[in-house]
């Protein structure tokens, strides 16, 4: 009984008969659920830090660019390289 409760606390989705649920039928959130996935602790808080002097855009081909060159939009370049 205690072992089943500890197992549900660590990973509630892997229980054989089904996850431990509340009175209204919703499964309890386990430690594993809080860590993994898109809304988990790693992706939500630890990996998503802000970085200075960076930008985000869509990659497209540029026939006028050489293989070792990168083209960025003018407004992005102005924002990234403006003086403090």
Q: What is the pLDDT of residues 8-28, one digit of tens each?
A: 888 887 767 778 888 898 888
Instruction: Tell me the pTM.
Output: 0.46
Q: Decide if 6 is inside a domain.
A: yes
Residue with tokens 């102005």: 78
Q: Decide if 24 is inside a domain.
A: yes
Q: Decide if 77 is inside a domain.
A: no
Q: Decide if 81 is inside a domain.
A: no
Residue with tokens 């869509």: 58
Q: Decide if 57 is inside a domain.
A: no
Q: Decide if 13 is inside a domain.
A: yes
Q: 13 lies in which domain range? A: 2-46
Neighbour tally for 12: CB within 10 Å: 19
Contact by Cβ (8 Å): 28, 22: yes
The predicted structure's pLDDT at residue 13: 79
């Amino acid at each position: 009984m205690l072992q089943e409760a500890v197992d549900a606390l660590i990973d509630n989705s892997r229980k054989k008969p089904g996850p431990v649920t509340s009175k209204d039928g919703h499964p309890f959130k386990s430690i594993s659920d809080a860590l993994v996935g898109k809304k988990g602790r790693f992706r939500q808080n630890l990996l998503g830090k802000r970085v200075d002097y960076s930008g985000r855009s869509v990659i497209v081909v540029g026939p006028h660019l050489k293989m070792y060159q990168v083209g960025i939009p003018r407004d992005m370049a102005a924002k990234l390289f403006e003086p403090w």
